[in-house]
């Protein structure tokens, strides 16, 4: 079996060693080279032809964003950014995702054995997933100009008639590929959508704040990072805070957001399942659920409950997903009422809430 060839680029010898440690002992993965700056990254990408590159953002001689642009132009390959857990790191990471990076892993200022173990499984999973997907670069290319997407096309009629003519809330979940893909959905929502939208995107703290600010600058609706205690308002999108759980609580005709501490037993903080479950409890048949690109199956349980209570479920289709994991789980569970392309999701949301 051919091994997955990984190129590691980071100006920190400590971080290069940390990534080596994370991938050590994997019989199907081989690190074929180490770079210390963006110039070396570009040269080694061309000469070594890796299957995946891990790329630091801040490096001497040439930074990671410039290197990424040159790699995607001359030697396109899946690139995973290694990002610091700071506001500046979050902003730069979102820019890198716009430029063609497939995903990112968090970079701690100091790694102990616990810190390495925390993200080693995530890194190995992503390396394997992206190296084995030959079509992923083609799906990423149009996402680099996400906010200039064309007006959404109408979708095919739904498989199931919605039990409530006018949905009163939208619950949307996404993960890997979500930051890029959300820029193809949220900016296309009409200014007078008429309902609130609650979103879970799997991201660490500070990253969700940057994502909300970025989407808000591109959108006609108001986009904010949820702080907790807000009364849900129409025409507003609430992004779950990274590292926390977000739920919706309804009392009478008023619904509000509750932010709680992360649960160490859960894989995802925030969790799509937990958020959607609360929406199903509070809104039942008045809820519209949407699942988009991402690894794993987070969201399936929550959306099943939402649908069982009369809600309606939209799933992104496989060809337009950067990773067809979470939508696949929903489709295979038989709870997707509509399966539509990424560029149709905004128009279908607008249709179901009008």
Which positions ≥6 away from 29 have C-beta within 8 Å?
A: 3, 4, 6, 23, 124, 127, 128
Residue 210 lies in a domain: yes
What value does the mean pLDDT take over residues 66-86?
92
Is residue 38 over pLDDT 90?
yes
Half-sphere exposure of 311 (CA within 13 A, CB side): 32
Is residue 43 over pLDDT 50?
yes
Whether residue 175 lies in the annotated active site: yes
Q: Can you give the pLDDT at residue 148?
A: 39
Crossing angle between the packed helical segments 64-74 and 87-98, to the nearest 10 degrees: 10
Measured CA to CA, the distance from residue 327 to residue 294 in angstroms comes to 7
Same domain for 153 and 125: no
Is residue 104 over pLDDT 70?
yes
Half-sphere exposure of 290 (CA within 13 A, CB side): 31
Q: Can you give the pLDDT at residue 118?
A: 67
Q: How many CB atoms lie within 10 A of CB 96?
A: 24
Same domain for 98 and 22: yes
Q: Can you give the pLDDT at residue 153?
A: 42
Q: Can you give the pLDDT at residue 145?
A: 47
Coil, strand or helix: which one is 245? strand
Query: Residue 7 pairs with which residues in a beta bridge?
Result: 33, 53
**Beta pairing class for 197-201 and 169-174:** parallel
Same domain for 168 and 62: no
CATH number of the domain that residue 111 is part of = 3.40.50.2300
Q: Can you give the pLDDT at residue 84?
A: 82
Is residue 45 over pLDDT 90?
yes
CATH number of the domain that residue 212 is part of = 3.40.50.180
Measured CA to CA, the distance from residue 197 to residue 337 in angstroms comes to 19
Same domain for 279 and 339: yes
- Quick one: tokens of 288? 């519209």
Looking at per-residue pLDDT, the higher value among 69 and 141 belongs to 69
Q: Can you give the pLDDT at residue 58?
A: 86
- pLDDT band with cut points at 50, 70 and 90 for residue 25: confident
Q: Which of 134, 159, 192 is the last residue of a domain?
A: 134
Measured CA to CA, the distance from residue 217 to residue 78 in angstroms comes to 28
Same domain for 165 and 82: no
Residue 232 lies in a domain: yes
Q: Which of 273, 286, 298, 344 is catalytic?
A: 298
Residue 332 lies in a domain: yes
Q: Can you give the pLDDT at residue 149?
A: 40
Residue 142 lies in a domain: no
**pLDDT, tens digit, 9 for 90 and up, residues 310-324:** 999 999 999 999 999
Q: Which of 175, 181, 315, 347 is catalytic?
A: 175
Is residue 53 over pLDDT 70?
yes
Residue 115 lies in a domain: yes
Measured CA to CA, the distance from residue 228 to residue 254 in angstroms comes to 14
- pLDDT band with cut points at 50, 70 and 90 for residue 165: low
Same domain for 104 and 11: yes
Residue 139 lies in a domain: no
Asked which of 105-109, 266-270, 289-293, 342-346 is least confident by mean pLDDT, the reply is 105-109
Same domain for 202 and 347: yes
pTM of the entire structure? 0.90
Residue 140 lies in a domain: no
Q: What torsion, rounded to 10 degrees, do the Cα atoms 336, 339, 343, 344 define?
A: -80
- pLDDT band with cut points at 50, 70 and 90 for residue 139: confident
Is residue 268 over pLDDT 80?
yes
- Percent of the chain scoring above 70 in pLDDT: 89
Measured CA to CA, the distance from residue 234 to residue 244 in angstroms comes to 23
**pLDDT, tens digit, 9 for 90 and up, residues 167-222:** 999 999 999 999 999 999 999 999 999 999 999 999 988 899 999 999 999 999 99
Q: Which of 202, 210, 219, 271 is catalytic?
A: 202
Residue 141 lies in a domain: no
- pLDDT band with cut points at 50, 70 and 90 for residue 275: very high
Q: Specify whether the backbone of 194 is left (phi greater than 0), alpha (psi in -120 to 50) or beta.
A: left
Same domain for 128 and 207: no
Same domain for 200 and 127: no
Q: Which of 92, 112, 134 is the last residue of a domain?
A: 134
Whether residue 202 lies in the annotated active site: yes
Q: Can you give the pLDDT at residue 141?
A: 63
Please tell me the total count of domains within the chain.
2
What value does the mean pLDDT take over residues 70-88?
90
Whether residue 103 lies in the annotated active site: no
Measured CA to CA, the distance from residue 298 to residue 53 in angstroms comes to 27
The closest of 7, 57, 59 to 29, measured between CA atoms, is 7
Q: Which of 84, 110, 134 is the last residue of a domain?
A: 134
Same domain for 87 and 197: no
Same domain for 254 and 174: yes
- pLDDT band with cut points at 50, 70 and 90 for residue 83: confident
Q: Can you give the pLDDT at residue 109?
A: 53
Q: For 348, list phi and psi in degrees, rounded to 5.
A: -70, -35
Quote the domain boundaries for residue 164: 147-353
Sign of dihedral through CA atoms 74, 147, 82, 300?
negative
How buried is 185 (Cβ within 10 angstroms: 0-12 exposed, 13-18 middle, 19+ buried)? buried
Same domain for 33 and 179: no
CA distances from 283 to 74, 189, 247, 313, 324 (A): 50, 21, 12, 14, 28
The closest of 167, 173, 125, 168 to 300, measured between CA atoms, is 173
CA distances from 46 to 29, 35, 51, 263, 315 (A): 19, 13, 11, 43, 37
């Amino acid at each position: 079996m051919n091994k997955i060839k990984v190129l590691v680029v980071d100006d920190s010898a400590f971080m290069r060693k940390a990534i080596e440690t994370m991938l050590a002992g994997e019989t199907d993965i081989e690190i074929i080279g180490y770079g210390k700056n963006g110039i070396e990254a570009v040269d080694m990408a061309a000469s070594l032809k890796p299957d995946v590159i891990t790329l630091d953002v801040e490096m001497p001689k040439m930074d990671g964003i410039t290197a990424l642009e040159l790699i995607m132009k001359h030697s396109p390959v899946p690139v995973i950014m290694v990002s610091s857990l700071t506001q500046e790191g979050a902003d730069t990471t979102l820019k890198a995702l716009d430029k063609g990076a497939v995903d990112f892993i968090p970079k701690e200022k100091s790694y102990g054995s616990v810190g390495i173990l925390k993200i080693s499984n995530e890194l190995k999973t992503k390396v394997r997933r992206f190296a084995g997907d030959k079509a992923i670069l083609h799906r990423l290319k149009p996402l680099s100009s996400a906010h200039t997407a064309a007006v959404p096309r109408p979708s095919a009629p739904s498989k199931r008639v919605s039990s409530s003519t006018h949905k009163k809330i939208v619950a949307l979940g996404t993960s890997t590929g979500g930051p890029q893909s959300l820029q193809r959905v949220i900016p296309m929502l009409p200014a007078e959508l008429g309902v609130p939208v609650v979103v879970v995107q799997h991201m660490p703290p500070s990253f969700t704040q940057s994502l909300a600010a970025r989407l808000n600058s591109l959108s006609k609706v108001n986009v904010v990072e949820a702080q907790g205690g807000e009364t849900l308002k129409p025409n507003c999108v609430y992004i779950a805070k990274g590292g926390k759980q977000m739920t919706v609580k309804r009392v009478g005709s008023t619904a509000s957001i509750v932010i709680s501490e992360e649960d160490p037993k859960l894989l995802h903080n925030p969790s799509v399942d937990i958020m959607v479950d609360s929406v199903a409890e509070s809104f039942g048949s008045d809820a519209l659920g949407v699942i988009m690109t991402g690894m794993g199956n987070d969201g399936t349980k929550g959306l099943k409950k939402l649908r069982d209570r009369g809600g309606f479920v939209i799933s992104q289709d496989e060809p337009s997903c950067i990773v067809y994991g979470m939508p696949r789980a929903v489709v295979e569970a038989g709870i997707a009422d509509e399966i539509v392309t990424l560029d149709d999701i905004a128009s279908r949301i607008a249709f179901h809430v009008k």
